[in-house]
């Protein structure tokens, strides 16, 4: 599965900006006071976005060129680009985890 780092390295300037924006949505300290993103958390949440898009499909072994995974990766990159166009968006994984149980 593609990593956020790979997306940045392989992406256009627009994609790189979207990756950096996603990173800033994951500050090291709560409250966003620290300017450095928590890239480990951002990477984990990007993977969870891909897995959510894939649904219940089982992730393939490393190095696989599974079509469903590739489609989910592309959709996740599309999400980054769409979300980057909004200054007020929040990571959907962070939001999901902050919701109180029903």
Mean residue pLDDT across the chain: 85
Domains of the chain: which residue ranges? 4-98
Q: What b-and-e string marks burial along 20-34, b requiring 16 or more CB atoms within 10 Å of the CB?
A: ebbbebbbeeeeeee
Of the candidates 97, 14, 11, which has an alpha carbon nearest to the alpha carbon of residue 49? 97
pLDDT tens digits, 24-53:
888 887 665 657 889 999 999 999 999 999
What is the band of 1 on the pLDDT scale with cuts at 50, 70, 90?
A: confident
Percent of the chain exceeding pLDDT 90 equals 48
Using a 10 angstrom Cβ sphere, with 0-12 exposed, 13-18 middle and 19 or more buried, the burial of residue 4 is: buried
């Amino acid at each position: 599965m593609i990593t956020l780092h790979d997306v940045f390295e392989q992406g256009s300037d627009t994609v790189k900006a979207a990756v950096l924006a996603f990173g800033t949505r994951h500050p090291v300290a709560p409250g966003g006071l620290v300017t450095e993103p928590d890239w480990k958390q951002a990477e984990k949440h990007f993977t969870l976005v891909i897995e959510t898009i894939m649904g219940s499909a089982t992730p393939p072994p490393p190095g696989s060129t599974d079509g469903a995974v590739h489609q989910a990766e592309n959709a996740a990159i599309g999400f980054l680009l769409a979300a980057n166009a909004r200054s007020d968006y929040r990571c959907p994984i962070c939001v999901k985890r902050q919701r109180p149980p029903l």
